[in-house]
Amino acid sequence: MSSTHGPGMTWIKSSYSDGQGGNCVEWAPTYAAVTGVVPVRDSKNPGPILMVSPAAFAGLVAFAKSEG
């Protein structure tokens, strides 16, 4: 994990996040496109950032879809 908020860190909230402050996951697609590393964070606690590979991120998204 990282706490760095570098250039290109424009955060997009997951469509699976609810409007009541729960399940708020964000990612930074522009940063991912430039670096090949996908930053993921909790929007309620935007300090730590989990940096994952595109394949790992795709797995997370697939898991979220299967649980939703």
Q: Which two tokens stand for residue 25?
A: 């996951």
pLDDT band at 68 (very low <50, low <70, confident <90, very high): low
CB 49 within 8 A of CB 40: yes
Q: Which pLDDT score is estimated for 3?
A: 45
Query: In total, how many domains does the chain have?
Result: 1
Cα 12 from Cα 26, distance rounded (Å): 5
pLDDT the model gives residue 45: 82
- The tens digit of pLDDT for each residue in 5-57 reads 555 588 988 776 666 656 688 999 999 999 999 999 988 887 889 999 999 99
Range of the domain at 21: 12-67
pLDDT score, position 47 = 81
Rounded CA gap, 61 and 8, in Å? 21
Model pLDDT, residue 52: 97
In this structure, is residue 3 part of a structural domain?
A: no
C-alpha span between 22 and 59 (Å, rounded): 21
**Measured distance CA(56)–CA(36) in Å, rounded:** 12
